């Protein structure tokens, strides 16, 4: 009877369908016109460089595995280089992930209505987060990871079927699963943690050593085969030596810098950006742990020839996937927004599966009902598309492609002042720049390279980030700057340490383009001593004068007050030495 109910279409099902369609209709046009994150543009640059005959890691510095660049190399020739096109692809990939998550609890007697509400929650979450998380590695690799999890679920069914399945079939499907995990691994290696948790779950569920050994060998070989193919590609492309150098000499510093980013204030900002969705972890973690404990207790009390029902096995696998993903995102990664959407998506699925069972059993307490109502209220009040100033842009987004003004109004995380950056682009376009004649000092300026169709001045495209995270290699970076044929430098004052008011302030001196606090008396310092020939808001365009000068020690610009204080201190030290001499 219950199996029939799971697919039954009721009035509640039609309500869920209507809400789902409304959410998609309202948000998809807004989503597609949003700006791209700097990382996405950077991977576009790398993909174009490789497609044009360049060498990954050697011609552009990169601290990550090449999987995401391969994705861009595959996608961009098919859809073109517009930001709208790549976000459509992102939406298609996310829809595939959502579909797999929605169906996961099907064997737990989750109704069609319940699946639809999980889908609504998943899309609502994704439409609530900033552009920093769109078409990023962590969410993209959730699709092959979920495909691997589905194969693991089916494999466990085979392992428990003692008579019907051959050992060759077990090995073959394990090999295929290994390919999917390896696909995700090439995008980001931290997926190894949830993958390991899921396979350990197999040990908890299946107690047949021989079959598990065959399963593990197929799984491992599948991963090694795809890993070998990727390494062979890098060797053939000439990227392997630079890749090896990056991962052995540069990356240890980058990984170590992770600790510095986990500061209380930054974490509070992170929670604010994920409000109210981060609260789901407070429910999902106990539910996942409770599922593991209950399964362990039940399996010990169940005869070996009567395995636990499939729905409970599925929930255990999902719980392990969720806990493993959440653990690696906090234990091993930087505090970047794009790291955390997958754990939230898995948390939604964990909670949705649990609530679906409670709903079918008609066992909702007033506490659950009140909590759900309160959370729904928080989602509605904070949902970006429900805000009037954003909703008014819907028709514009439907009728027009993305532009600087739309990006400025749709951005949920203001990392770029799009209209001011457009003015900088127009000025630089009038200078008829050639490849390597433009150096974008700050990461937030990376958009200028593809817009102007010029190659960066050095291989360090995210120059300020590399300068901060890899301090022991600054001599190499300075040498690359000094040897480059750059003619113009663009700087972002806010990214370089000024607050917004100081960065946008105008000097009372009509001949001074820079803000009042800008260090106009600073000499011989790169890039701040180079003359400013154009300004738009927070952005400065410097014309390069040789010699380039020295770096100030940090990537931040000192204020004029600090420079004068430094000169006074030096003068005082000099005057104190003169009487003694």
pLDDT tens, residue by residue, 436-492: 999 999 999 999 999 999 999 999 999 999 988 888 899 999 999 999 999 999 999
Q: Is 90 exceeded by the pLDDT of residue 560? A: no
Q: Give how far the C-alpha of residue 259 lies from the chain's centroid of Cα atoms, to the nearest Å.
A: 18
Instruction: Give every CB contact of residue 5 below 8 A, 6+ residues apart in sequence.
Output: 109, 111, 360
Q: Helices in 104-161 by DSSP H: which ranges? A: 112-128, 137-140, 142-160
Beta strands per DSSP E along 156-198: none
Q: Is 80 exceeded by the pLDDT of residue 533? A: yes
Residue 491 backbone zone (phi > 0: left; psi -120 to 50: alpha; other: beta): beta
Bridge partners (DSSP) listed for residue 550: 525
The rounded radius of gyration (Å) of the Cα atoms in the chain is: 27
* Count of Cβ atoms closer than 10 Å to residue 167 Cβ: 12
Q: Which of 30-39, 224-233, 275-284, 303-312 has the lowest mean pLDDT?
A: 303-312
* pTM over the 0.85 mark: yes
Let me know if residue 391 belongs to a domain: no
The pLDDT assigned to 436 comes to: 96
Let me know if residue 573 belongs to a domain: no
Let me know if residue 403 belongs to a domain: no
Let me know if residue 170 belongs to a domain: yes
Q: Is 80 exceeded by the pLDDT of residue 416? A: yes
The percent of residues in the chain predicted with pLDDT above 70, rounded, is 96
The pLDDT assigned to 7 comes to: 63
As a whole number, the mean pLDDT across the chain is 91
Q: Which of 363, 386, 409 is the last residue of a domain?
A: 386
The pLDDT assigned to 61 comes to: 96
Number of domains in the chain: 2
Domain range spanning residue 467?
Answer: 418-568
129 vs 340: CA distance, rounded Å: 10
Per-residue confidence band for 291, with pLDDT thresholds at 50, 70 and 90:
very high
Q: Which of 366, 386, 406 is the last residue of a domain?
A: 386
Instruction: Give every CB contact of residue 124 below 8 A, 6+ residues apart in sequence.
Output: 23, 379, 383
The pLDDT assigned to 305 comes to: 56
Q: In this structure, are 506 and 374 located in the same domain? A: no
Angle at 246 between CA 244 and CA 251, to 5 degrees: 120
Question: What average pLDDT does range 354-380 have in this prediction?
Answer: 85
* Count of Cβ atoms closer than 10 Å to residue 178 Cβ: 26
pLDDT tens-place string over residues 169-182:
999 999 999 999 99
* More confident site: 91 or 210: 91
Strands 550-551 and 525-526 come out as: parallel
Let me know if residue 397 belongs to a domain: no
Instruction: Give every CB contact of residue 85 below 8 A, 6+ residues apart in sequence.
Output: 79
The pLDDT assigned to 578 comes to: 67
pLDDT tens-place string over residues 182-207:
999 999 999 999 999 999 998 888 88
| Nearest partner of 525 among 509, 505, 547, judged by Cα | 547
Q: In this structure, are 143 and 258 located in the same domain? A: yes
Per-residue confidence band for 209, with pLDDT thresholds at 50, 70 and 90:
confident
Q: Which of 330, 363, 386 is the last residue of a domain?
A: 386
Bridge partners (DSSP) listed for residue 539: 492, 536
Question: What average pLDDT does range 255-278 have in this prediction?
Answer: 86
């Amino acid at each position: 009877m219950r199996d029939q109910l799971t697919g039954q279409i009721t009035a509640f099902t039609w309500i869920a369908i209507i809400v789902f369609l409304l959410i998609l209709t309202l948000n998809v046009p807004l989503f597609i016109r949003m700006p791209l994150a700097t990382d996405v543009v950077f991977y576009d640059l790398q993909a174009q460089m490789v497609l044009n005959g360049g060498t990954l890691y050697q011609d552009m510095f990169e601290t990550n595995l090449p999987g995401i660049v391969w994705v861009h190399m595959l996608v961009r020739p098919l859809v073109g280089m517009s930001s709208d096109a790549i976000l459509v692809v992102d939406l298609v990939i996310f829809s595939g992930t959502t579909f797999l998550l929605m169906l996961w609890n099907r064997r737990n007697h989750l109704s069609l209505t319940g699946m639809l509400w999980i889908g609504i929650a998943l899309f609502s979450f994704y439409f609530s987060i900033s552009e920093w998380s769109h078409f990023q590695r962590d969410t993209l690799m959730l699709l092959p990871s979920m495909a691997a999890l589905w194969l693991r679920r089916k494999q466990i069914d085979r392992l428990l079927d003692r008579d019907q399945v051959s050992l060759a079939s077990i090995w073959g499907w394990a090999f295929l699963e290994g390919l999917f995990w390896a696909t995700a691994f090439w995008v980001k290696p931290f997926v190894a943690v949830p993958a390991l948790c899921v396979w350990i779950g197999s040990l908890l569920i299946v107690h047949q050593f021989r079959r598990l050994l065959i399963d593990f060998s197929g799984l491992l070989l599948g991963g090694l085969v795809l890993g070998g193919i990727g390494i062979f590609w890098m060797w053939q492309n000439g990227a392997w030596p630079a890749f090896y150098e990056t991962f052995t000499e540069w990356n240890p510093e980058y990984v170590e810098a992770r600790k510095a980013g986990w500061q209380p204030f930054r974490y509070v900002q992170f929670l604010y950006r994920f409000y109210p969705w981060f609260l789901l972890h407070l429910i999902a973690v106990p539910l996942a742990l409770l599922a593991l404990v209950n399964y362990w207790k039940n399996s010990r009390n169940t005869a070996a020839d009567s395995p636990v029902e499939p729905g409970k096995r599925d929930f255990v696998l999902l719980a392990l996937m969720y806990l493993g993903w959440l653990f690696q995102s906090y234990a091993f990664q930087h505090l970047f927004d794009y790291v955390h959407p997958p754990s939230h998506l898995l948390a939604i699925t964990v909670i949705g599966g649990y609530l679906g069972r409670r709903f079918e059993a008609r066992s909702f307490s007033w506490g659950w009902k009140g909590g759900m109502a309160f959370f729904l209220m928080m989602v509605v009040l904070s949902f970006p598309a429900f805000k009037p100033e954003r909703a008014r842009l819907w028709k514009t987004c439907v009728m027009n492609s993305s532009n600087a003004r739309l990006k400025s109004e749709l951005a949920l995380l203001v990392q770029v002042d799009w209209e001011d950056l457009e003015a900088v682009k127009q000025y630089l376009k009038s200078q008829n720049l050639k490849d390597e004649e433009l150096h974008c000092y700050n990461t937030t300026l990376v958009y200028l390279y593809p817009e102007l169709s010029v190659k960066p001045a050095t291989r360090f495209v995210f120059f300020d980030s590399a300068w901060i995270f890899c301090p022991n290699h600054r001599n190499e970076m300075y040498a690359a700057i000094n040897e480059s044929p750059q003619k113009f430098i663009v700087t972002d004052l806010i990214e370089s340490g000024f607050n917004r008011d100081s960065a946008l302030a105008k000097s009372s001196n009509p001949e001074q383009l820079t803000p009042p606090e800008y260090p106009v008396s600073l000499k011989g310092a790169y890039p701040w001593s180079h003359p400013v020939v154009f300004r738009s808001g927070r952005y400065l365009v410097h014309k390069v004068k040789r010699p380039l000068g020295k770096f100030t020690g940090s990537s931040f610009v000192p204020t004029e007050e600090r420079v004068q204080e430094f000169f006074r201190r030096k003068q005082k030290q000099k005057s104190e030495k003169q009487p003694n001499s």
